Structure 1
């Protein structure tokens, strides 16, 4: 039998979700069967699994040590590169620079060296993440492989929950730098409907089945030789939103091979020039309240992107 006392750092999650992390080799069906048979109790009472656990709650697992150990497995951490740069770090969060050509989370072609893997390995090396922990730290926002800029990372459950809630409720503003073909002279807002279509997206002014509304704000910073440097603020965040939206209104991003139909690339960029250079925390919840009204800027950037900023005579 095992008795687990919930603390402040692992509260405010569903009981079944917590149990699936604690018994990380157990199938859901086993967890629910043990709940039904009262082999797992919450505060000495039968539980359904959908209860929200809070600090001070007691979970009792009435199984033999051998059975419990058979359903628990320490996580494996592979040694990774450290391609990212730290912008800000404290006991709760990391804000880091993700370079181009690095995936945010594991995918089919890169299973062990994503930014998320690198950050977990970084925490493990510092002794801040224990493999037997029932919590796994994680990034909270994503950037496309070939988009660079700021990524947020929750080091503990409370921080991860707070960051995810803030992104969901638009309490963190994200700003991007990009450069496009064409002379943009006025600020504007692009409102369209967005739908994924294979490895691209389809946009429409009118609603199409299974589409979501997207909103992108843009502001010209500098113009030169029929090219414009733009400041972009994302109101919503969908796949390829900035790239497809700007192409839709006639201003393709320099270096974009997917959404630039004319395929111009006068600066010989390997990837589209798109860099998440700034985030602003609006009013945050109690746990991350100390970040309220704070702004963080990422000056790290690929040299090819810096050359493009030099063309516009602009510094972050």
Structure 2
């Protein structure tokens, strides 16, 4: 059992115990807070409480949280994940292409592999890493995970407050300007629910900046600086700007899918090469870089005439 004490501020007087805990304790949703209260794991002045109890402010809540539950349904079979950073709060890995982040059926996932290869984790009552940001199945590169509820909450705040720097490398068709910025509305495509688009009115915005790192015959290597982290964002914005990602089966033009470099790669040419974020233990910046995988290097060799 993990023991925790929570001080109730004066301004929380009159609030229900279950709702207060669900807001104040990271990883403790309303249902889980109620379950812990009903089990007798929550006490005030040594006495058990009811979920509906009204707080008066100033009291101390004692909370006992059970050890995280194992997740036997999550597959632990798969490749060893390259670890770029590991501490008591978070783990950053170099995600291989072709593996989903979160479990889907019996297939290998980064979450399942990491839980088996780099324990311990205790997030939302399970012995699984906390997912705060994601990469598509085919995208490789830097991906961070929280070890605890507190770390997950802190990491989420860092993303929301724009204190995380994410950079990608991608190969695109065409000859884009040396640098540029793409910004506009972002929403699911009403004509195809699998796709997203910038071409419909939406309150949600998407923004990125790019810089050409190397040019080839009718193709280019771009460095992408993401301002927002929308689903499929890089692929959508570059495609709709006229520079589709090579090998992109959903948004790429036929020439981008059949290009010799795309054939050598065998997937979309997108790699999260750098991640910089504040340490959750020391407060200093953590910066990691993920080397390009072999398939991306093969595609570059084709483009360079190798």
CA contact (8 A) 1:32 1:49 kept: no
SS state of the match for residue 117, structure 1? helix
CA distance in 2, matches of 1:288, 1:192: 36
User: What residue number does 1:15 align with?
Assistant: 21
CA contact (8 A) 1:104 1:142 kept: yes
1:85 aligned to 2:82? yes
Is the alpha carbon distance of 1:215 and 1:129 closer, same or farther for their aligned partners in structure 2, counting shifts above 3 Å? Answer: closer
1:229 aligned to 2:233? no
RMSD: 3.9
User: What residue number does 2:270 align with?
Assistant: 274
CA distance in 1, matches of 2:70, 2:24: 16
Is the alpha carbon distance of 1:120 and 1:193 closer, same or farther for their aligned partners in structure 2, counting shifts above 3 Å? Answer: same
1:208 aligned to 2:201? yes
User: What residue number does 1:59 align with?
Assistant: 63
CA distance in 2, matches of 1:175, 1:87: 15
Q: Tell me the CA shift for residue 226 of structure 1.
A: 1.7
1:115 aligned to 2:120? no
Match of 1:177 among 169, 172, 175: 169
Q: Tell me the CA shift for residue 5 of structure 1.
A: 3.0
Q: Tell me the CA shift for residue 112 of structure 1.
A: 5.6
TM-score (norm 1): 0.73
Unaligned runs of 5+ in 1: 62-68
1:168 aligned to 2:164? no
CA contact (8 A) 2:212 2:222 kept: yes
Q: Deviations over 1:157-196 (max 9, x none)?
A: 3322221111121111100000111112321110021112
CA contact (8 A) 1:97 1:300 kept: no
SS state of the match for residue 177, structure 1? strand
Match of 1:139 among 126, 131, 143: 131
CA contact (8 A) 2:247 2:258 kept: yes
Q: Tell me the CA shift for residue 46 of structure 1.
A: 5.9
TM-score (norm 2): 0.75
CA contact (8 A) 2:82 2:93 kept: yes
SS state of the match for residue 101, structure 1? coil
CA distance in 1, matches of 2:148, 2:41: 29
Unaligned runs of 5+ in 2: 7-18
SS state of the match for residue 79, structure 2? coil
Q: Tell me the CA shift for residue 130 of structure 1.
A: 7.8
CA distance in 2, matches of 1:289, 1:131: 21
SS state of the match for residue 6, structure 1? strand
CA contact (8 A) 2:37 2:50 kept: no
- Judge which range, 42-51 or 232-241, deviates more: 42-51
CA distance in 2, matches of 1:29, 1:132: 11
1:307 aligned to 2:298? yes
Q: Tell me the CA shift for residue 309 of structure 1.
A: 2.9
CA contact (8 A) 1:175 1:234 kept: yes
Q: Deviations over 1:120-170 (max 9, x none)?
A: 11234xxx3589966643232100001111110112233222211111211
